[in-house]
């Protein structure tokens, strides 16, 4: 009887510990077609664009990506994958076209925003705002 209890407790301990293991970034590389990756952002990163981008980001992105783009928004813990840290060099080194494509199409936990942000200029403004998280 003691052995069964020990095995059950050990199993519960392992399950409890797994709850604290950080999410891995074992996602496959997010390939962006060259035509999309090479698109040039037609919207200047001026004050008006950043204001639009910030408003849209706060409405659509902040809940997962966080106020400062660190991937620590209130919904991030509910995701199966990491929501990403926009301040990292690996994020900031991506082209504007790649960021636009990823925002538009989505993947796994990341929803597509092509219908939520249907105006391309607004989506480019979000890309401009994401650049402020350096």
> Where residue 56 sits, what CATH number does that domain have?
1.10.760.10
Number of separate domains in the chain: 1
Residue 103 lies inside a defined structural domain of this protein: yes
pLDDT in tens, 11-64: 444 444 444 444 444 557 899 999 999 999 999 999 999 999 999 999 999 999
Residue 68 lies inside a defined structural domain of this protein: yes
| CA separation for the pair 119, 25 (Å, rounded) | 31
User: Of 127, 71, 55, 118, which is closest to residue 97 (Cα–Cα)?
Assistant: 127
Residue 56 lies inside a defined structural domain of this protein: yes
pLDDT in tens, 105-125: 999 999 999 999 999 999 999
Residue 110 lies inside a defined structural domain of this protein: yes
Structure-token pair, residue 124: 């480019």
115: which DSSP letter?
A: T
Domain carrying residue 91: 29-133
Residue 20 lies inside a defined structural domain of this protein: no
């Amino acid at each position: 009887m003691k052995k069964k209890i020990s095995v059950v407790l050990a199993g519960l301990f392992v399950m409890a510990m797994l709850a604290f293991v950080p999410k891995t970034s074992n996602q496959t590389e997010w390939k962006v077609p060259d035509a999309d990756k090479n698109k040039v952002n037609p919207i200047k990163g001026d004050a008006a664009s950043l204001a639009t981008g910030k408003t849209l980001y706060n409405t659509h992105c902040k809940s997962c990506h966080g106020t400062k783009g660190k991937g620590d928004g209130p919904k991030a813990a509910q995701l199966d994958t990491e929501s990403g840290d926009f301040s990292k060099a690996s994020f900031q080194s991506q082209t504007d076209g790649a960021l636009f494509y990823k925002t538009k199409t989505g993947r796994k936990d990341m929803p597509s925003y092509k219908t939520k942000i249907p105006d391309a200029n607004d989506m480019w403004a979000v890309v401009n705002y994401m650049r402020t998280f350096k």
